[in-house]
Chains A and B, each alone.
Chain A
Amino acid sequence: MHGRLKFAAWLAALYCAALGLIAATLVMVEVGMPAQDQAVVSRMFEERAPLLAFVGGLLLLACGGFVAWLFKRYVTAPRALAEQTRVVLANPGYRVEAAAAPELSALAAEINRLAGAYHGVQRDMEAKIAESGSRLEEERNRLAALMSDLSQGVLLCNAEGRILLYNEQARTLFSSAAAPIGLGRSVFGLLDREEIVHALDKLQYALDQGTEAPSTRFITALAARGLVRVQMAPFLAAGGRVGGFVLALEDVTRFVGQELQRRQLLQALSTGVRAPVANIRATVENMVSFPEMDPAQRQRFARIIAEESINLSKSIDQALSEYADAIKASMALEDMRAADLVTVAKRRIGALLRVDADDVDQNLWLRVDSFALVQSLGYLAWRLREEHAVDAVRLRARARETFAELDLVWSAAPLSSEVISLWESQPMQVAAEQTPLTLKDVLERHGGEMWYQRDEPSGASWFRFLLPLGEAAPQPSRRRLPAESRPEYYDFDLFQRAGTQREFDDQPLDELAYTVFDTETTGLEPSAGDEIISLGAVRIVNGRLLKHEVYEQLVNPQRPLNRESSRIHGIDARLLVSQPTLGAVLPEFHRFCEDTVLVAHNAAFDMRFLELKEAATGIRFEQPVLDTLLLSAVVHPSLQDHSLEAIAERLGVRVIGRHTALGDALLTGEILLKLFPLLAESGISTLKQAREASQRTYHARLRY
């Protein structure tokens, strides 16, 4: 608009100047001329007026054309060149183009040369930054690795309860919580607010009292799955205030259950045993105290004793069988795969003599104190070598009823029972390494047994350990990720931010949390019944695209797909039939978007689909919305193509995985991040400014 106005003004000025000049000439010629001459001149002009007007018009047209040509060549083109040059600032790989005038082409070439130099400098600088950043990154990765190797879940929160860091275990623990776990999200969505506030108060009090490293624990129920034990410790910000807190989380559902069982077992045993013993004792004492009682009475008492003895055995059996698990379970024992135990044992025994393992049940789990058990196996192997010159042993393990058999097998060298009982009761020793524990202690701790067995025909001897079976540990989804794609489970920069709850509008763009999303649909007309078939979203927190905090869901549109759209998104209609409907998906997606600004490319289109469902689902997306298409137009008003691909190419974003909702959402997110500095150059740095500029551009684009 601006350009056209300027052009019109130029032209008008030119015309006015030309006409004014001619008029002035005429006036000057006529002034001082005799009257008859004036009449002659007037006549001459009057007679030739059409011709003069024609030539004059032609002249003006030519002038206009020339001005237009000049304008295009030397005004519009330089402007486009300037915009392109600004792109170079954002993406040094970009090169400008100016076809119009040779002078401008030369300028463009110079700009490109400068751009090349700038690119080089930029690359050098980036390399240097990357180098110094890599050490920090390495440390962070080491921390992340450490966190992911902990068996406990860890959450690190700032004083407001926003999550700065979490590990995979915490994520698993909260996998069925009402709110999803995520950086910058509130911990109160996961754990009871009152409980945490209370714990924080206690910690603050302890700090005020001058306690050095206070921590507090509590056990709290998770909505969906049992009990979790939380250990909470503060860390201090400047001024001794609590700057945030660390939560170490442990799923204690099983332990608490076992503890309860053990208590019940003791209860059942003592109560069940007392009554029959009382009866027997009273009866026997009667018989002893009154030896003169008549035979019938005596007989009657004897029968009571027999009866009560049976009751006694029964109640013991019953208690033990009812609470068998409680007896087996011990906090000190861990569930371990037999194959893993054998591997560790092999390493230990291998230092003494030849050892191999065959016949190990791969699905067998033991409940063991692995250290003590491996020590025991090593001890036996050592004594076999020292005292019986055994030079090779074999390990095997398999299930037997409700126990596991672990055998240490060797050939020849039968053992006497004296030797075995000696080995069992002496403190275990391997070379100079001695422990106060005996084999008996270890067996007792496991509630297990061990004996010596020999197969005469084959000459094989073995020690057989009978050990409690363990439970297969749930396989955590712990795919080892290569370092560069390690999950972005931490964000310490969130520390720097106070008052995240502030009104969105006044916040700097690069500090806001965003949910960038995209939809795939059955067609382009939501009001004509087209439906969403796929939703994909990714979060941006503190200027980082969190590629591991994504949302991806196919949706059953409950209507057939047309072939054309199928070709774009490549989703098979048959796949969608088994998916949830949008009504079921939206509440979940709404929770994912909580507390963030929504972003989409051509957001109006996607928002329309969501808004049409408001009445049916009652789910309203009330947060502010940004549109990367409009933001791109704000930054580059003279460029025409604002498609996702064109912007990506301009800003140097690599395009992969297009036409899946998540793929496009990721691309849109990267573009948004690249747009921030460009917006800042145009003086747009807060959400409010971005929204207002978008609105102006939107109206402007509508007019064309």
Chain B
Amino acid sequence: MAELSSLFHGFAVVLSPFNLMLMMIGIVLGVLIGVLPGLGGANGVAILLPLTFSMPPTSAIILLSCIYWGALFGGAITSVLFNIPGEPWSVATTFDGYPMAQQGRAGEALTAAFTSSFVGALFAVLMITFLAPLVAKFALKFGPPEFFAVYLLTFCSFVGMGKGSPMKILASMMLGFALAAVGMDTVTGQLRLTFGMPDLMRGFDFLIAVIGLFGIGEILLSMEEGLKFSGSTARINTRIVIETWKKLPKYWMTSIRSTLIGCWMGITPGGATPASFMSYGIAKKMSPNGDRFGKGEVEGVIAPETAAHAAGTSALLPMLALGIPGSPTAAVLLGGLLIWGLQPGPLLFVEKPDFVWGLIASMYLGNIAGLIVVLTSVPLFASILRVPFAIIAPVIIAICAIGAYTVHNAMLDVWFMLGFGVVGYVFKKLDYPLAPLVLAVVLGDRAEDSFRQSMLLSQGSMTILWSNWLVGSITTLALVLLVWPLVARVLQSLKGMAGGSSAAAARGTPEHR
């Protein structure tokens, strides 16, 4: 019960007028970011990060994490009303949300989406409250080999659990590691991969990568589609909200299942996007109304939204307890911690309890505030989407450029942003996943440090990764996850041969949906 008293202390920290104000600003900004194309949770937080350098860290993290919650909510608005997913994790919400809007049930779809987002997030926060301190306490015993094993697990699970070509996931991830290696080597002080350019000594900052890949890349993609917004209008009034709420308890099974999927995918860095797809797919299989999915079934909105929010929220657990983020946005928040002078990881719970519990308390309050904000102001945010793209696009590009510049006050970074934008566009079109790239840029140096420290301890022998049961089981689990696509492919082709048609499996990458 020590957690509860710490939590109440956290509420006391959050409930100062200044922090409450930041929370509301964060939520509103976040929904705005979630609604606008080209601005998402990750790069929205990245752009605003420099503005928080002068704030106290607790207030800063409240502001930024509330932007994240807002963006999670905001993604649903565009999916339902415009059939345009504002965020990748709300793609699955369009499947049933948009048909509902076309049938004039936009209010019902939005209420269901927001409420299930809230439910998913709430359970994830409850889990963080009680599990994170335990994980952190456990992780205090970690040495370099254990940490390297956890990094390995993080990256292997991307390859094993990601949908799409494992080789592309690997290539994208390794590109991230290579970018992270550029600059001064932290151990020997040698310059690596700088090719004699003094500007590269600093290395590539992942914030620039995030702003370019997700911001500029997204603008280019949206432009390609021509972007003719043809949206439904949304009216949400108290009557619709209450009527929808009356219906929702019927789907408790879907909610629980989706929450569990979301929490699992969030802690292991599967992330919110695959979680929402997986949850939608399973709900479709399990539901008695499965065949009506895709034609406007409330359950098809509940499942992905619950899972996406549960995953998005629980992605903060490994970030807080281990210093290993579970999603790109969590990675940006982690970058913030480092800039504010806090060392993320298990010691944070001991050294900065105010900060940690303030953040956890703000997750509760932020999600409640978020639910109220979105339920009351949907028409306002929907009207923003009616602002023509010819105005929004240059404004967002200018904002991205400002964000890229302020990270290090370097104009070269604005060039990098443009480069990353083009890479993001091409990668997205070719199905190279961007999340592993970003996480590798963030964690590259630290994964390498823990690897080199382990190698020093063992004098170069890999057996240190199996030196005790803890590190051994994490490493083994990581390797199992890594080869999982291979195993799945073999199983599939065996099945295919038994069925007489191995053609489908010949080129097929296993679909994890």
- Do A and B make up one complex? no
| Residues of B that sit less than 8 Å from A by CB | none
| Residues of A that sit less than 8 Å from B by CB | none
